[in-house]
Amino acid sequence: MRLYQQIARWHNLRGIYNYCCAYCGATDGQVIYLGNWNSSGRTLILCVDHVQTQYNGGSCSIENLQILCNRCNGIKGEYYLPKLEPRQPEYSMLQIIRSQIELQSTMGRRRRTLPDNYISKLQLGY
């Protein structure tokens, strides 16, 4: 696929997801403050996420893509998170942080209970 076609598809996907994270509702460039309120904030950036990671055999088809902010995408990591429906943007910083903490808790439980077919990178020789 040509680069301009891929960029156009990703831009279209961002529009489908109302230019906000499918999980927490954060918008591109939104700043959140974690921990110390006197510290500088963390800017959230929207990125394209593969529902089933390419590492695990996922494709780049539009059905396997969703929009997540960089924090939710980092929390998700290489693990499977069901495809989320588009939502309206969330402007409450507190609600965004609550959603991200909930996702972190959920993914933490999944990491502790690995599926039977899980193959570690060590077993693959990485």
| Global pTM value | 0.76
Q: Give the pLDDT confidence of 10-53 residue by residue, as tens digits.
A: 888 989 999 999 999 999 999 888 766 666 788 899 999 988 88
3-state secondary structure of 49: strand
Q: Give the number of other Cβ atoms within 10 Å of residue 53's Cβ.
A: 15
Looking at the structure of the chain, the number of domains it has is: 1
Q: Where are the alpha helices (DSSP H) in the chain?
A: 3-16, 70-76, 93-112, 121-124
Q: Give the pLDDT confidence of 60-105 residue by residue, as tens digits.
A: 888 889 999 999 999 888 777 788 889 999 989 889 999 998 888 8
